[in-house]
């Protein structure tokens, strides 16, 4: 059986990226060109899609060079199998084809809605994808005239390194300091294997906590209460106007259209738990969480899925926040904060507790998050 489904190429600063997609799960994969062998740089981290493998070649092979893909069909197999293919001109599928391929067809079939307070609506949707598999989607819709965002941090403090906490602990700390929070989701990517520092810009109560020079996109609240999704690379003059801000990684939606977010990157087209934020033209804030990595319960989303879900709710701009085991949503009900999502870490044998993170986004009444 021919194991390789397709091979895509992308030139990057790191070298020529080869994305090898296989028809069946494959393990311990290698790619050989002449006398050089390269290891899979994608599946050496978390348990991602074992049908997707990424290799970086420092040099572009000549046309018709033979490349050999080596793999094991099972983790414990001792012997490698191999499949060969010829290198031709790098082939890029057109944008519309990629968007169709990476659209899982996530469609709501059952929806429950709650009003958390004046101006904040919580929605939980059981969806089905185009194969009929379940996907659970959670949405917080915030009228920025009546409620706003507040950046939660460990101890509600201003340290940017060597601090981390679970979202409910960040909620409790903020509430003790007078923040009238009604909901929360996780926020920025952070150095999970190092000092836990955030990857992008973080602003809390008008004070820059971290990465004032970051080019990453962020969701923020200006000192006049206006929600904004932008980047300092795009508009550096925004920094002194911000009261709150937490960063993400990819812009998903800009001017009401899906952005180009490196569709050959497996991070984007493999389905994961996701968290994202959007802003509509009329000033509504959208916080979206999708559960994943639990096939019988919820199968996650691609970045295309995420963008389309936000567009369906009217997003004019949207940014992808940290996902995976970090994705989580809490809402307040009858005076208590309830975990509404099912974080992937809860079902992992070696990580049964909710993940500790650097920051989160709290939804609060406007009076409790002014600069």
158 and 270 together in one domain = yes
In the chain, the number of structural domains is 2
214 and 299 together in one domain = yes
Q: What SS3 class is residue 229?
A: strand
How high is the pLDDT of residue 369?
46
Q: Place 180 in a pLDDT band, splitting at 50, 70 and 90.
A: very high
151 and 249 together in one domain = yes
65 and 136 together in one domain = no
Nearest CA to 59 out of 11, 93, 91 is that of 11
230 and 347 together in one domain = yes
79 and 172 together in one domain = no
How high is the pLDDT of residue 187?
98
Q: What is the span of the domain harbouring residue 50?
A: 4-92
Spell out the residues 6+ positions from residue 358 whose beta carbon is closer than 8 angstroms to its own: 153, 154, 160, 163, 164, 187, 188, 190, 196, 197, 198, 202
How high is the pLDDT of residue 368?
54
What does pTM read for this prediction?
0.83
Q: Place 193 in a pLDDT band, splitting at 50, 70 and 90.
A: confident
The CATH number covering residue 43 comes to: 2.60.40
């Amino acid at each position: 059986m021919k194991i390789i489904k397709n091979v895509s190429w992308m030139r990057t600063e790191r070298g020529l990226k080869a994305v090898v997609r296989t028809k069946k799960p494959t393990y311990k994969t290698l790619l050989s060109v002449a006398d050089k062998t390269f290891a899979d740089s994608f599946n050496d981290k978390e348990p991602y899609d074992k049908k997707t493998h990424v290799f970086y070649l420092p040099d572009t092979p000549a046309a018709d060079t033979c490349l050999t893909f080596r793999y094991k069909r099972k983790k414990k197999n001792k012997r490698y199998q191999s499949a060969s293919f010829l290198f031709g001109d790098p082939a890029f599928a057109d944008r519309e084809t990629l968007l169709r391929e990476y659209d899982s067809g996530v469609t709501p079939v059952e929806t429950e809605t709650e009003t958390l307070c004046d101006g904040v609506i919580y929605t939980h949707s059981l969806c089905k994808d185009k194969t009929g598999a379940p996907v659970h989607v959670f949405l917080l819709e915030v009228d920025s005239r009546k409620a706003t965002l507040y950046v939660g941090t460990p101890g509600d403090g201003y340290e940017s390194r060597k601090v981390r906490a679970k979202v409910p602990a960040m909620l409790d700390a903020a509430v003790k300091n007078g923040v009238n929070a009604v909901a929360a989701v996780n926020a920025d990517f952070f150095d999970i294997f190092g000092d836990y520092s955030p990857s992008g810009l973080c602003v809390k109560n008008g004070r820059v906590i971290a990465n004032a020079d970051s080019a990453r996109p962020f969701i923020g609240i200006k000192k006049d209460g206006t929600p904004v999704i932008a980047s300092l690379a795009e508009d550096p003059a925004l920094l002194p106007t911000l009261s709150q801000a937490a960063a993400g990684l990819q812009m998903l939606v800009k001017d009401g259209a899906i952005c180009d977010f490196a569709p050959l990157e497996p991070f984007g087209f493999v389905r994961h738990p996701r968290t994202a934020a959007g802003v509509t033209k009329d000033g509504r804030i959208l916080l979206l969480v999708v559960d994943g990595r639990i096939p019988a319960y919820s199968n996650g989303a691609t970045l295309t899925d995420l963008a389309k879900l936000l567009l369906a709710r009217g997003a004019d701009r949207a940014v992808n926040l940290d996902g995976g085991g970090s994705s989580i949503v809490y809402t307040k009900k009858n005076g208590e904060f309830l975990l509404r999502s099912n974080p992937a870490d809860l079902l992992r044998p070696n990580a049964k507790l909710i993940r500790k993170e650097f920051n989160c986004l709290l939804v609060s009444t406007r009076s409790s998050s002014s600069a």
